[in-house]
Amino acid sequence: SAVISQKPSRDICQRGTSLTIQCQVDSQVTMMFWYRQQPGQSLTLIATANQGSEATYESGFVIDKFPISRPNLTFSTLTVSNMSPEDSSIYLCSVVLGPNQPQHFGDGTRLSIL
Amino acid sequence: GENVEQHPSTLSVQEGDSAVIKCTYSDSASNYFPWYKQELGKRPQLIIDIRSNVGEKKDQRIAVTLNKTAKHFSLHITETQPEDSAVYFCAASMGTNAGKSTFGDGTTLTVKP
């Protein structure tokens, strides 16, 4: 198992600003991901956070909007840039401890844009 | 890429009855199928999983079945209790895909006391 600390837990932001979400894991993990969960919806993968290299983004998500850092095997950040009301969502980080293993999620960051 | 369809989107049962949620996947290379439970305001948590070399797995009141030929898998909850009320997500992933999962749209299960 893995213990994941994600912060902030929630925030209310102004349109046009940016917010950085942090994800800390209690052990070194290779596979770390960022998901978005819009209200009442499923989980959509934004990107895979790669240690020491650029993140791998899924279709529909771009680095300019969602820059990701992964300086080491226990930590990652996701920035939501130039926010608009459509970015209001829950953002979750997750880790996988090995092939064919489940995702372990952080508690999520509930983001509201005014 | 992988596509996972989940049905039904909502399910209401009486306490003590059984609940069944079904998922289909598109990529025959998928070989790992977890189920997550998400209570209101909380993170998704694994409740049971199955790998492609197994047809069925059971854990107390929860079971999962997998039909690789038909590319579908199902979650079965017996003797449902009010605390089973939550959103349930199925997912599919490939061991070669570096841990990435594709999720179904979710099923909101309500167990009426």
Core vs surface per residue B17-42: b (16+ CB within 10 A) or e: eebbbbbbbebeebbbbbbbbbeeee
Query: Is the Cα torsion angle B39, B44, B49, B52 positive or negative in sign?
Result: positive
Question: A39-68, pLDDT tens digit by residue?
Answer: 889 999 999 998 888 999 999 999 999 999
pLDDT on residue B54: 82
Q: How confident is the model at residue B99 (pLDDT cuts 50, 70, 90)?
A: confident
Q: List Cα–Cα distances, B63 to B31, B35, B49, B50, B109, in angstroms.
A: 17, 10, 9, 10, 16
Q: How confident is the model at residue A98 (pLDDT cuts 50, 70, 90)?
A: confident
Half-sphere exposure of B48 (CA within 13 A, CB side): 18
pLDDT on residue B96: 62
User: In chain B, which among 30-49 make CB contacts under 8 A with chain A?
Assistant: 31-32, 34, 36, 42-46, 49
Contacting residues of A for B91, CB less than 8 Å apart: 103
Contact by Cβ (8 Å): A91, A83: no
Chain B residue with minimum CA distance to A104: B45
Tokens coding A101:
């293993």
Considering only the beta carbons, identify the residue of A45, A92, A108 that sits closest to B100.
Answer: A45
Contacting residues of A for B93, CB less than 8 Å apart: 100
Shortest CA distance to B107 belongs to which of B82, B87, B91, B77? B87
Chain A residue with minimum CA distance to B96: A99
Q: How confident is the model at residue A30 (pLDDT cuts 50, 70, 90)?
A: confident
Contacting residues of A for B49, CB less than 8 Å apart: 102
Pairing of strands B10-14, B4-7: unpaired
Q: How confident is the model at residue A103 (pLDDT cuts 50, 70, 90)?
A: very high
pLDDT on residue A104: 95
Contact by Cβ (8 Å): B72, B20: no
Chain A residue with minimum CA distance to B106: A42
Q: Is the pLDDT of residue A107 over 90?
A: yes
Cβ–Cβ gap A92/B95 under 8 Å: no
Rounded to whole angstroms, how far apart are CA atoms B42 and B54?
A: 30
Element (H, E) at A91: strand A89-96
